Amino acid sequence: MASCRNNTKEVNRTEASGVGHVVVMTQEADAGELSQGEVVGLKFNLRNDGDGSFVIVGVDTDCGCTKAIYSGEPVAMGHETTVELMFDTSGLHGYQYKTAKLTAQCGNGIVETVKLRLKAKVR
């Protein structure tokens, strides 16, 4: 389990109320062995451990072969959401390691970022 601590604004959470907090249940997913040209979706579960909501405002991937699917709806405290990374192996070969940077608006001007990683072996 990983928690995002790359806040763009430092905050003492005991003083901040109504602030969401993103916790990634699994930060890395392994697609295993894939055939070239195969497209797979890998899901990452996120939980809100804050006392307010957060909204995913973007997911930037490091390669055009990877696309993110997510809801732009607020995630209430104590609730979970899923981000799916779609990985297209067309034109790829060998061991692949891809990263996506998720950005969430957590309230009170706090922005949290977390990295999601996937790996696969393309044959």
One-letter amino acid for residue 17 of the chain: S
Report pLDDT for 16: 56
Q: Output the furthest CA–CA distance in the chain (Å, rounded).
A: 52
Per-residue pLDDT of the chain (123 residues; tens, 9 = 90+): 444 444 444 444 444 578 999 999 989 999 999 999 999 999 999 999 999 999 999 999 999 999 999 999 999 999 999 999 999 999 999 999 999 999 999 999 999 999 999 999 999
φ/ψ of 93, rounded to 5, equals -150, 145
What is the Cα 47 distance to its own chain's centre? 11
The pLDDT tens digits of the residues spanning 91-114 come to 999 999 999 999 999 999 999 999
Q: Which domains does the chain have, with CATH numbers?
A: 2-7+19-122 (2.60.40.10)
Distance CA 83, CA 45 (A): 7
Q: Map the chain to HEC letters.
A: CEECCCCCCCCCCCCCCCCCCEEECCCEEEEEEECCCCEEEEEEEEEECCCCCEEEEEEEECCCCEEEECCCCCECCCCEEEEEEEEECCCCCEEEEEEEEEEEEEECCEEEEEEEEEEEEEC
Distance CA 73, CA 56 (A): 8
Report pLDDT for 17: 72
Residues found in the chain: 123
Report pLDDT for 11: 43
